[in-house]
Structure formats: structure tokens, C-alpha cells
Amino acid sequence: MKIANAIFPWAAGLAVLLFAVGLPIALVTSPPDYQQGETVRILYLHVPAAVMGEMIYYAMASGSAAYLIWRHPMAGLVAKASAPVGAMFTALCLICGMLWGEPMWGTFWVWDARLTSTLIMFFIYLGYIALGDAFEDPERGDRAAAILALVGVVNVPIIKFSVNWWNTLHQPASLSLTKSNMSGEMLLPLFLMMGAYGMFYVTVLVIRVRSELLAAKIRNARMSQIAGNEAAQAIG
């Protein structure tokens, strides 16, 4: 927790700074694409969200593994606190992608391999969050959700492989974006936004872990209060 407290102001400051610098460059001053025009600016919101959505899942799974193997409570907290952030990034990625798909492909949704696996990823996040909340004893929820995260991490590559197979047989790859070499003018805002998203995740993670710890303290204090009252009554 000491490390978390030490990095918190830096992460929060960097997140604000990177958003303040990155957003104007990404949305206003960067050049429009010669093919896609102004809509290319969605890329700067969309791609980092996709990267974060996936990275946070792996962070969550590593935290869960550490929690189950070494019973390290902090790792469990990190995993639990990561899930809503990851789900939010995945949702952001899907929404941006749909808004981008409309002008580019002429439709909000196609059953493209990457879209489909991102959607499934979102459902896996939802399942993890729902399972963690489903128990009266929060510790059981943490453990069950940790096992689920590990089952999910084995499955994510299998799902991707299956969806790719399904997609290539059902759809000729007509909708893939022409990935031309990106110019430096585009890479700069992309990296700025990626850094901003990453720092945002760290900041929110620290806040969420702190509040989880406080909630656990309150729960324990209440429990001992109840136990104390009962003991007092038994004596009285």
C-alpha cells in the first residue's frame, strides 16, 4: 500500500497531463487521414481502449493467480478492483468501434473476428464481476472470481482462435482496414493517449483498492462491535 500511495500522485498527475496534451492533439491538431478524413480521430480513443481492455484482463488474471497460489490478499484486491475498469475500457472500445464502423464500413456492427472476440471478452468481464458480487461472504466471492479469471485466461486464446476460424470461413476479409504505415504525426497522439489511459487505470486502481480496504475495515469493525455487544449482553 505504501508503494501505491507513493505512485498515486504521480500517476494521477500524469493522467491529467497526458489527457490535457493528448486529447487536443488527437482530436484537433493531428492531420486528418487522406482516406478516412476526420473520422480517423476515433482511432486515438478506440485503439488504446482495446489495448487496455485486454491488458487489464491479463493483469486481473495474474492478480488472481497470485491470490490463489500465495493467498496474498493484496493481489486479490488488485484483481477485483481491475475488473470494472477493464470492462469499462472494453465497452468504450466497442462503442467507439461501432461509431467508427458506421462512416467507414457503412454499418454499426459487423461480425468481424476482432469485434466478436472483444464482445465476448466484455461478457467474460461481466461474468467475473457478477460472480464476485454474488456471495454473502465477500471473501468467497473473491476466491470464486479468481478461479473464474484463470479459467477465462485459458479460454481467451481458444475463443480468439475459434472466432477467427469461424470468421474466415463465413466472411471474406473485405472489411479489414488497410493498415498503412502510420506516420509520426499519428503515432504521437496515439502514444500520448495510450499513456493517458494507462495512467488513468493506475489512478483508478489505487482509489478502488483503497476504498476496498476501507470497506473491509468497516466490515471488521462492525463485526467486532456486534460480537462485543453480544458478549456484553451475555455477561449482563
Contact flag: residue 17 with another protein (CB under 8 A) = no
Contact flag: residue 165 with another protein (CB under 8 A) = yes
User: Closer CB to another protein, residue 154 or residue 235?
Assistant: 154
**Cβ 156 vs Cβ 169: under 8 Å:** no
C-alpha cell at 162: 475459434
Q: How many residues bind another protein (CB under 8 A)?
A: 29
**Cβ 41 vs Cβ 30: under 8 Å:** yes
Specify the amino acid at residue 211: S
- As measured in angstroms, the least distance from the Cβ of 225 to another protein is 26
Contact flag: residue 66 with another protein (CB under 8 A) = no
Contact flag: residue 150 with another protein (CB under 8 A) = yes
Contact flag: residue 151 with another protein (CB under 8 A) = yes
Q: CA 232, CA 225: separation in Å to the nearest integer?
A: 10
Contact flag: residue 36 with another protein (CB under 8 A) = no
- As measured in angstroms, the least distance from the Cβ of 152 to another protein is 8
Q: CA 61, CA 145: separation in Å to the nearest integer?
A: 10
- List the interface residues with another protein, window 83-142 (CB under 8 A): 120, 123-124, 126-127, 130-131, 134-136, 140
* Residues forming the site for another protein (CB under 8 A): 68, 120, 123-124, 126-127, 130-131, 134-136, 140, 143-144, 147-148, 150-152, 154-155, 158-159, 161-163, 165-166, 169
